[in-house]
Amino acid sequence: MLRRSDHDCFKNGACICVVTPHLLLTIANVRPHPTPLYSSASGAPNSSVTTPLPPCLPTHSTSTRTDRSFSATKMPYTILILAYRKPGTTPSQFKAYYEGRHVPLVRSLTGATFPLSHTRRYLQRSDGVQAESDSTRSPATVLVGTQADFDYDAVTELTFEDEAAFRRFMGVTQKPEIAAQIAADEEHFLDRTRVPIVVLGDIAVTRR
């Protein structure tokens, strides 16, 4: 069993809950914001890349995870991002750019502050072209629910040694020259008007 500290929903961003197998994510109150994917966790317009992190982020973690990725004194800190592809971009184009260009760029820019793990999980879609507000042209393989429930294209999970490591990473990505490079790169594949980000709380895993 992996356990992490319990946190409430993200202020002014998105409430995301992991629930029963037939409904993986519930997303509410998503507000558009043009912030770079990694330069802000507030969900509000990033008028200054040097703005301090918002107070809604928790100041401590009480994880009891003990796998080999972390030492006994570290408390892993994980954030979840819902990524939407840029209108007019196919799912395969979105994935190819994210994997081949964007992640390597962020890794090179952030160096030692890059997260312990950066996991991308892509929704299974046909490879049509999505209109600005129409996901049916590249439908997801929905088992329960509607296409509107799954209009995002990837679930991205970033895990850090602890909250301090996360804040060091954020400090690097908020440097003006780095934030500008990341934002410019996101314009090629990402819908930057909606990038909800949330801190994960407790996670329980049952294995066969």
% of the chain residues with pLDDT over 70: 60
Say if residue 159's pLDDT is above 90. yes
Q: What is the pTM of this model?
A: 0.63
Per-residue pLDDT band at 1 (split at 50, 70, 90): very low
pLDDT in tens, 175-202: 999 999 999 999 999 999 999 999 999 8
Amino acid at 62: T
Pairwise CA distance, residues 132 & 85, whole Å: 10
CA atoms within 13 A on the CB side of 10: 27
Determine contact, residues 122/154, Cβ cutoff 8 Å: yes
Helix (H) or strand (E) holding 168: helix 163-173
pLDDT at 73: 59
What the block records as the tokens of 185 is 């790169």
